[in-house]
Amino acid sequence: MDLSLLILAGAVVVAAIIVALAMRRAPQAPPVPDAAAVLEPRLQQLSAAQSEIAGRFQQSIAAQTQLQTVLAGQIEALNKRLGETLTASATKTAETMGNIQTRLSVIDEAQKNITALSGHVVGLQEVLANKQSRGAFGQAQMEDIVRDGLPPTLYDFQFTLSNRNRPDCIIRLPGAKAVIIIDSKFPLEGFTQLRRAATDDEKKTAVARVRADVMKHVGDIAEKYLIPGETQTPAIMFVPSESIYAELHDGFSDVIQKAHRAQVIVVSPNILMLAINTMQTVMKDARMREQADLIQKEVGMLLNDVRLLGERVGKLQSHFAQVDGDMKNIGVSTEKIVRRADAIGKVELSDGNKTALPPGG
């Protein structure tokens, strides 16, 4: 309302100014009607225009208010969606960070394992580089294979033979007096030199050393451990490395053949395990054969017991037949006694007439 009054006052002032200017500039004219009568229609028009302007202004205010309400609702919805999006993004980011942390932990653990494995590999190389340590390593590996496959009563480690030599392991087979010999002291220096050889001359020297070392070891095994009647042939030379065993067969087949002719067979860990499994089968068959006589004896005794049982059942059946006959005879006698009792009960005694009893039957 204050704005309307101000507009109206302004309009009146402007009209008054316009009228004053018109009267000053206009020539002398005849007297005009009263100013109030002239201004009244204009004032009414101004009032109507001002009312229309006020109505439009109110409509603009209402539209602006509605627009502000709509904008506030849209802003609130936008803030809500933005908050939900940020929350979801934060959750996914936290989950992703957790997965990354887990994977980093796994990677760190794998790195530790790799480091430990590298240390073990270095330690294994040091073990294989030293002859005594390598012998202990091969001995331990061979003992583990034998222990896993055979009962303790069928093997011995460091057993002393009649010639005072002590092989790394002996295996006893059931029914055989001679034992199987296993030696685990394989010469590795020549193979190490062969792998490190850079020139043809070095390779030739290393190859010659491998042949010499292996054949010397084969000869030592045959000389020390092959005793007729006490040890079986062939003796077993254990190689504690599958790669060296494959290299020996691929590049030194002549050495393998010479070892066979010397009654010494070269085996790897896998072949030794296969041989132990074969021995297990042989020992099971031997134990089954040992038990065969006892089983046959027990079966014979069982058949004899069955025969005696049949005889006794037959006797019992004859006794039952005799009892059945006796029971029938007893029944016949009982019937006769009943008939005689009936006849006695029908006898009438009188002075002049005596009835004779029926003969016994």
* CATH number of the domain within which 140 lies: 3.40.1350
How would you class 19 by CB atoms within 10 Å of its CB: exposed for 0-12, middle for 13-18, buried for 19 or more? middle
Q: How confident is the model at residue 82 (pLDDT cuts 50, 70, 90)?
A: confident
Q: What span, in angstroms and rounded, lies between the C-alpha atoms of 258 and 71?
A: 100
Q: Note whether residue 183 is domain-resident.
A: yes
Q: How confident is the model at residue 17 (pLDDT cuts 50, 70, 90)?
A: low
Q: How confident is the model at residue 51 (pLDDT cuts 50, 70, 90)?
A: confident
How many structural domains are present in the chain?
A: 1
Q: Note whether residue 66 is domain-resident.
A: no
4-14 burial: b if 16+ Cβ within 10 Å, else e: eeebeeebeee
The pLDDT of residue 127 is 44
Residue 168 belongs to what domain range? 134-286
* Residue 179 φ/ψ, nearest 5 degrees: -105, 160
The pLDDT of residue 105 is 80
Q: With a threshold of 0.85, does the pTM exceed it?
A: no
What is the separation of C-alpha 65 from the centre of its chain, rounded to a whole number of angstroms? 69
What is the separation of C-alpha 316 from the centre of its chain, rounded to a whole number of angstroms? 65
Residue pair 149/277 in contact (Cβ under 8 Å)? The answer is yes
User: Phi-psi region for residue 164, left (φ > 0), alpha (ψ -120 to 50) or beta?
Assistant: left
Residue 133 has pLDDT above 50, yes or no: no
**What is the mean pLDDT of the segment spanning 211-239?**
88
Average pLDDT over the chain, rounded to an integer: 76
Residue pair 222/264 in contact (Cβ under 8 Å)? The answer is yes
Measured between alpha carbons, how far apart are the two ends of the chain, in Å? 158
Of 346, 327, 326, 349, whose CA–CA distance to 338 is shortest? 346
pLDDT in tens, 238-284: 888 888 888 888 888 888 888 889 899 888 888 888 888 888 887 77
* Top-ranked range on mean pLDDT: pick from 28-37, 118-127, 136-145: 136-145
The pLDDT of residue 301 is 83
Q: What span, in angstroms and rounded, lies between the C-alpha atoms of 344 and 360?
A: 12
The pLDDT of residue 20 is 58
Q: Could you tell me which residues come within 8 angstroms of residue 113 by beta carbon, excluding any fewer than 6 positions away?
A: none
The pLDDT of residue 34 is 58
Q: How confident is the model at residue 1 (pLDDT cuts 50, 70, 90)?
A: very low
**DSSP alpha helices (H): ranges in 197-268?**
200-225, 242-251, 253-261
Residue 33 has pLDDT above 60, yes or no: no
Q: Note whether residue 95 is domain-resident.
A: no
Secondary structure letter of residue 26 according to DSSP: S
Q: Note whether residue 279 is domain-resident.
A: yes
Q: Note whether residue 342 is domain-resident.
A: no
The pLDDT of residue 22 is 57
**What is the mean pLDDT of the segment spanning 46-64?**
76
Q: Note whether residue 64 is domain-resident.
A: no
Q: What span, in angstroms and rounded, lies between the C-alpha atoms of 88 and 146?
A: 62
The pLDDT of residue 117 is 62
Q: Note whether residue 26 is domain-resident.
A: no
Q: Note whether residue 315 is domain-resident.
A: no
pLDDT in tens, 183-219: 888 777 777 788 888 888 888 888 888 888 888 988 8
Strand 235-238, strand 264-267: pairing: parallel
